[in-house]
Amino acid sequence: MAGFTTRTIHALEGIHQGAVTPPIHAASTFLQPTEGGEGEYEYQRGGNPTRDDAQRTLATLENAGHSYLFATGMAATAAALGTLHAGDTVLMSLPVYGGNYRFATIELPKRGVEHRFVPDPNALTDEDFDDSVAMVFLETPANPTLRVADIRRAADLAHRHGALLVVDNTFLTPYLQRPLELGADITVQSATKYLAGHGDLLGGVASTDDDALAEELFKAQLISGGVLSPIDSYRLIQNVKTLALRMDRQQDNARRIIDALHDHPAVSRIHTPGSFSTEESEIQEKQADGPGAVFSMEIAEGKDIRAFLGALRVFGFAVSLGGIESLLCLPASMTQGAYSEEDLATAEIPDHLVRVAVGIEDPEDLVSDLIGALDAA
């Protein structure tokens, strides 16, 4: 099999009469055969050639049978969680992205679906499963603590009880981690982040090897209408071609920053994938090809976080991650702002935790910016 970037660039080769980039089919509707029957495409919500090209590209990267693109990452997650039915229960790792938390606590109860948050998915046992558990939902590494869950173990456990495993793979992407190959039934990602990588489009993708689940994900596109537009599909096709290059640079930058911050007196702790325990380090090593470019740090007691933020010149203070620009945020009040105080405490997300998403700027500038801001704190 060809390498990752080669497959990204050549996924559509031979499909469009030798064109090195695919065309954009912007039509909202398609003419149908007057002699009867249906054409290949009818209406953009139900299918579009450019979106199909993007879905084919992402399925190639996932080594998946099927990938489906949605207008946002949350729409993709909603489609995966939409496979649950009234009376079902989902076991969801904690912490999770704030949008996933909202969906579990606000939307699922309206559908008669229960949720149970699991602070340590690696501690799940057969006793945690009753007849109602139909899904395990993991984020690994977790947002924003970078806790690591064993995907293969979770898959084996879920399948033993007839449940699905869904993995949010936004932080690592298929370049660094491929949950379907480890036994997951569905993987979801916010394409807004690393896949698109430039902070200028919203999108989400859900992928599976299971034909029946694929049909449900397609119906979620068709019924909800939350599909990725042709123009954004085209831009995603083009942007994802540089995914490996961008992530390599971002990971290298992150390593250099972390090394520079380890002994800084304004930083009490740094969280990276596998840093929580030896067990999680071993899990991360066996299931991923790299740590990604997100880490979090705790500002030491007595330091002024607002002074730190105000002194930043290169890093932006904003939610989101995965773009070429470096950003940081305060999860407790921003990305995880929907959490209850109890769940913030359970997830170990204090007010002084800063999530850092590293971009592709010159590493010396990034290190200098953070060191200067920490000195100001």
Residues involved in catalysis: 45, 97, 168, 193
Sign of CA dihedral 355, 291, 186, 174: positive
Question: Nearest 5°: CA angle at 288, between 282 and 290?
Answer: 100
Amino acid letter for position 95: P
89-120 per-residue burial string, b: 16 or more CB within 10 A, e: under 16? bbbbbbbbbbbbbbbbbeebeeeebbbebbee
Distances (CA, A) of 163 to 90, 112, 135, 214: 9, 17, 5, 16
Residues 6+ apart with CB under 8 A from 1: 7
Contact 133, 145 (CB under 8 A): no
d(CA 280, CA 290): 14
Assess whether the previous peptide bond of 141 is cis (omega < 30° from 0): yes
Residues 6+ apart with CB under 8 A from 332: 339, 344, 349, 350, 351, 353
d(CA 79, CA 224): 9
Contact 330, 323 (CB under 8 A): no
d(CA 353, CA 298): 4
Tokens read off for 41: 């495409």
